[in-house]
Amino acid sequence: MADSAREAVAAARKLSRAVDHLRFGHPTTHVYNPLDYAWGAHQQYLQRINPSGVRVLLMGMNPGPWGMAQTGVPFGQIELVRDWLGIDQQIGHPALEHPKRPITGFACTRREVSGERLWSLFRARFGTPDCFFQEHFVANYCPLVFMEASGRNRTPDKLPAGERDALNAVCDEHLRALFRALKPEWVVGIGAYAHACLERVVGASTIQVARILHPSPASPAANRGWAATATKQLVNAGIWTSD
């Protein structure tokens, strides 16, 4: 395994152990950690990292229930992970599984729209995963999925301050380790939350920070041509060229 990937794998294992020790109260009733039950797929994904690091690290907030929660890959829409990225591993189950949010792995039939939009853009622009991973990598700030009793998804920004602070402490530490492993020139927040986390951790370093619109179908702006908007934002930032 290449140096950058080896460092990223070690950092992910450390992060997984750290978040497993955190505790979350009402209204959170279920917490999934794909770095545990989907580790095989996540490790295979980390092994795609360029041995010498990347120029651009793109970062989302946390796994979606029909994306990384099922595949172990950030924004991990089933078909694109399996058929484009070439990752297809046996996926286990969290210790406490919500009946309305079952983990069926690559047999999941629900659509992860955000991941479909994100990885489809990269496929259209770069053609092959090798071309994409030569300079890019996608990660999530937080590895956990949070759910309420109803099965409703609960994002990290909605956690009580004490829980959020404890989570941020371990996720910030992991993000710093990821910076050391990947040595990015640019870090790009996919959405406002990830962007704020990146700005906080980057601090006074020489890493440049940018932001793109989150591809969530809950965003009206994202539903009006997300790929074109995100491309324009990356071009305007000087990360991508216009051709």
Write out the two tokens for 142: 């937080």
Per-residue pLDDT, 199: 97
* Bridge-based pairing state of the strands 56-60 and 186-190: parallel
pTM, to two decimals:
0.96
Task: Assess whether pLDDT exceeds 70 at residue 1.
Answer: no
CA torsion sign, 189 to 195 to 197 to 198?
positive
Per-residue pLDDT, 204: 79
Model confidence at 2, pLDDT cuts 50, 70, 90, reads low
Per-residue pLDDT, 243: 74
pLDDT in tens, 76-104: 999 999 999 999 999 999 999 999 999 99
- Mean pLDDT, rounded, for 6-26: 97
Q: What is the DSSP string of 51-63?
A: TT--SEEEEESS-
Per-residue pLDDT, 44: 98
CA distance 1 to 185: 23
Q: 209 - beta bridge partners?
A: 187
pLDDT in tens, 198-222: 999 998 789 999 999 999 999 999 9
Report DSSP state, residue 81.
I
Task: Assess whether pLDDT exceeds 70 at residue 54.
Answer: yes
Give me the CATH code for the 3-231 domain, please.
Answer: 3.40.470.10
Q: Determine the Cα angle at 189 with ends 6 and 33, to 5°.
A: 55
Average model confidence (pLDDT) across the chain: 96
Amino acid sitting at position 87: I
- Mean pLDDT, rounded, for 43-72: 97
Could you state, in order of their start, the residue ranges of all structural domains in the chain?
Answer: 3-231
